[in-house]
């Protein structure tokens, strides 16, 4: 664990804790400006139990380690409580990614030195992929009182943007995971490095293939469809539904591309001359392929999720004039 990532992790944990406590006190106890918020007991019960059952089962099935399951419950509780649609999108990402991780795992193990056949995810992976979603849900709940009346930058700008930030973060993570897992499983044995298009061994950080790029777009699309279905019939009208599909697909595709570019630049990749597998740490036995040993895969995932959901996709949505329809 690099020191810069350890500091980042501690900062994120403390920030999430303080933000969550502030959010709960204002929304449930005081109420900022719209009066106190009353949460239905069944809603609170579902938010407390369903993520707990999912986290516990994932721990028992070795999909998450204990600390990872604990963080997953914390994020799942907040997401379920604030936006059931984003919670369903998050579950779509989690279960589909676990499925693709196990797909052709033997082939992946032959290419990557640090590949785990169990596919168990730790707390760093959970936090780096879920922190932005968690923060977006808290901001959405504080601003919109857990109610999304419509997706429109004309009439509900803040609510729309906070919801889209959470959706973009999930689509980005899903698109990147689908691209990595599918690309490594069935993609080219010699993909191209995204920054210079040179042929590199499969498993190199920043390597892309046609299959992987297609997988990233489909991953974002899959999450978007799940979110759209669970938003309810009032969001199934032609402009809104199409905008969600376009936004989600682009989030998956561009998020994966940004992740690949950052991996090619800030993650070390080298080929071990003894095993002929791709290594992520420099040593006497590795030959450098690309990247500098600045960030690990988890660090790249966190920064990519932040950049994609907070900067790239909101600006792109405005540029493409998405979500400008409103019912009034």
Q: Is 250 within the bounds of a domain?
A: yes
286, β-bridge pairs: 272
CA angle 233, 308, 19 (to 5 degrees): 80
Instruction: Give residue 32's pLDDT.
Output: 43
**Tens-digit pLDDT profile for residues 226-272:** 999 999 999 999 889 999 999 999 999 999 999 999 999 999 999 88
The pLDDT > 90 percentage for the chain reads 44
Q: Looking at residue 148, what is its pLDDT? A: 87
pLDDT category at 114 given cuts 50, 70, 90 is low
CA dist 91 and 73 (Å) reads 12
Q: Where are the beta strands (DSSP E) in the chain?
A: 192-193, 207-208, 269-272, 278-279, 286-290
Per-residue pLDDT reduced to its tens digit, 278-314: 888 888 888 999 999 898 888 999 999 999 999 999 9
- The whole model's pTM is what? 0.87
154 within some domain = yes
Average of per-residue pLDDT values in the chain: 84
75: its two tokens: 């994020």
Q: Is residue 203 part of a domain?
A: yes
Predicted pLDDT at 33 = 46
Q: Is residue 328 part of a domain?
A: no
> pLDDT class for 13, splitting at 50, 70, 90?
low
Q: What are the C-alpha distances in Å from 153 to residues 52, 89, 159, 321?
A: 35, 21, 8, 9
Domains: count for the chain:
1
Range of the domain at 86: 3-319
Which residue is associated with the tokens 């998405």? 322
Q: What is the pLDDT of residues 64-113, one digit of tens each?
A: 888 888 888 889 988 998 999 999 999 999 999 888 877 766 565 555 55
| pLDDT value at 29 more than 50 | no
For residue 288, give the 3-state DSSP assignment. strand
User: Could you tell me which residues are beta bridge partners of residue 264?
Assistant: none
Helix segments in 114-237, DSSP class H: 123-144, 157-186, 210-231
Residue-level length of the chain: 328
Helix, strand, coil % (nearest 5) of the chain?
A: 65, 5, 25
Kindly state whether residue 65 falls inside one of the protein's structural domains: yes
Asked whether residue 84 is assigned to any structural domain, the reply reads yes
- Residue-wise pLDDT for 150-168, tens only, equals 899 988 999 999 999 999 9
Q: How far apart are CA 307 and CA 301, in angstroms?
A: 10
Residues 229 and 89: their CA atoms lie apart, in Å, by 10
> 327 in a domain, yes or no?
no
DSSP lists the bridge partners of residue 272 as 286
Per-residue pLDDT, 20 = 59
Q: What tokens does 184 get?
A: 């490594």
- pLDDT of the residue at 311: 95
Higher pLDDT, 45 or 196: 196
Under the banding of pLDDT at 50, 70 and 90, the label for residue 34 is very low
Confidence of residue 187 (pLDDT cuts 50, 70, 90): low
Q: Which of 84-98, 142-156, 203-217 has the lowest mean pLDDT?
A: 142-156
CB-based contacts of 224, cutoff 8 Å, min separation 6: 89, 167, 171, 244, 245, 247, 248, 249, 251
Give the per-residue pLDDT at 253.
Answer: 97
Per-residue pLDDT at 170 exceeds 70: yes
Around 241, how many Cα atoms within 13 Å sit in the side-chain half-sphere?
Answer: 12
Looking at residue 69, its pLDDT comes to 86
Q: What is the pLDDT of residue 188?
A: 62
Q: Which of 84, 134, 88, 162 has the alpha carbon at shortest distance from 323?
A: 162
For residue 326, being part of any structural domain is answered with: no
| CB half-sphere exposure, 100, CA atoms < 13 A | 24
């Amino acid at each position: 664990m690099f020191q810069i990532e350890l500091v980042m992790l501690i900062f994120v944990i403390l920030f999430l804790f303080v933000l969550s406590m502030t959010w709960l006190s204002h929304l449930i106890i005081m109420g900022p400006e719209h009066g106190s918020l009353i949460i239905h007991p069944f809603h609170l019960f579902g938010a407390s139990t369903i993520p707990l059952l999912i986290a516990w089962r994932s721990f028992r099935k070795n999909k998450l380690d204990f600390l990872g399951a604990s963080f997953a419950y914390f994020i799942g509780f907040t997401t379920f409580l604030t936006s059931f649609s984003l919670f369903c999108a998050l579950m779509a990402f989690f279960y589909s990614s676990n499925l693709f991780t196990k797909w052709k795992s033997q082939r992946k193990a032959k290419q990557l030195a640090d590949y785990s056949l169990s596919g168990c995810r730790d707390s760093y992976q959970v936090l780096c992929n879920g922190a932005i979603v968690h923060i977006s849900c808290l901001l959405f709940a504080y601003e919109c009182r857990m109610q999304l009346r419509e997706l429109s930058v004309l009439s509900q700008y803040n609510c729309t943007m906070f919801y889209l930030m959470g959706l973009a973060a999930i689509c980005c993570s899903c698109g990147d995971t689908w691209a990595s897992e599918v690309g490594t499983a069935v993609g080219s044995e010699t993909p191209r490095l995204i920054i210079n298009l040179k042929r590199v061994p499969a498993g190199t950080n920043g390597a892309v293939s046609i299959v992987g790029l297609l997988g990233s777009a489909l991953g974002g699309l899959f999450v978007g469809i799940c979110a759209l279905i669970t938003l309810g019939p009032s969001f199934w009208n032609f402009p809104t539904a199409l905008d969600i599909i376009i936004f989600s697909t682009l989030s998956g595709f561009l998020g994966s591309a940004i992740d690949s570019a950052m991996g090619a630049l800030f993650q070390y990749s080298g080929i071990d001359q003894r095993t002929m597998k791709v290594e992520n740490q420099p040593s006497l036995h590795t030959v450098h392929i690309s990247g500098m040993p600045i960030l690990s895969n988890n660090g790249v995932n966190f920064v990519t999720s932040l950049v994609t959901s907070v900067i790239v996709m909101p600006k792109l949505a405005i540029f493409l004039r998405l979500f400008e329809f409103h019912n009034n």
